[in-house]
Amino acid sequence: MRKTLSLLVFVAAVGALACGCANTERKLGRGLNNTFEIVRGGEFRRTVEQTALFDSPDEAYTTGFIRGINRTLARTGIGIYEIVTAPIPPYDPLFTNHFAPAPVYPDNYRPSLLEDSLFATDTYIGYSGGDVIPFVPGSRFRIFDTY
């Protein structure tokens, strides 16, 4: 009886945390996105670029580098916090006065969909464009891009 009651309490707790999951999945997705910032490196690249543009090119490799590491680690920490607290309100993004809720990219890079058979419309022809090395972060060379 005691085991059945503890199992029932556990199932009820999981059910209570899982219902109303639209905000929970948004917070969890944002947390995963921010956690993998350390692998993606977009915050780092943007910070180095913005330091070179607004301060000086000489400071980009020193101050921009350190500032980029700090911002990357901070965004990764925010992501870990959002993953751990995903089922717990509030569901709004954290530190929006310092960090954008969405992933950031350098101004000289425009992300797009992967050139894959899932998204490509010309796979029946036998060839299509695509990233040359899509699994390497920062790989920007794409075949057949005309823009």
Q: In the predicted model, is pLDDT for residue 147 greater than 70?
A: no
27 plus 89 within the same structural domain = yes
The answer to whether residues 46 and 107 belong to one domain is: yes
pLDDT for position 78: 94
CA 113 to chain centre: 15
Surface-to-core class of residue 139, CB atoms within 10 Å of its CB (0-12 exposed, 13-18 middle, 19+ buried): exposed
Q: Are both 40 and 81 inside the same structural domain?
A: yes
67-118 confidence digits (pLDDT tens) = 999 999 999 999 999 999 988 888 899 888 999 888 888 887 777 776 666 6
Are 123 and 98 members of one domain? no
Do both 104 and 119 map to the same domain?
no
Q: Are 64 and 52 in contact (CB under 8 A)?
A: yes
Which residues, in sequence order, are bridge partners of residue 131?
142
Closest CA to 128 of 115, 138, 145: 115
The domain total for the chain is 2
Query: Is residue 13 domain-resident?
Result: no
Mean per-residue pLDDT, 62-67: 94
The pTM assigned to this predicted structure is 0.68
| Least confident interval from 17-21, 24-28, 39-43, 132-136 | 17-21
**Quick one: how far is CA 106 from the chain centroid?**
14
What number of CA atoms fall less than 13 Å from residue 116's CA on the CB side? 8
Residues in contact with 55: Cβ distance below 8 Å, sequence separation at least 6, in sequence order: 63, 64
Over 90: is that where the pLDDT of 5 sits?
no
The answer to whether residues 75 and 145 belong to one domain is no
Query: Looking at the structure, do residues 92 and 45 belong to the same domain, yes or no?
Result: yes
In a domain, 7, yes or no: no
Buried residues in 92-131 as b, exposed as e (16+ CB within 10 A): ebbeeeebeeebbebeeeeeeeebeeeebeeeeeeebeeb
Mean pLDDT, the chain, integer: 81
Which residue reads 């464009």 in tokens? 129
With a cut of 60, say whether residue 123 has pLDDT above it: no
Instruction: Decide if pLDDT at 25 tops 70.
Output: yes
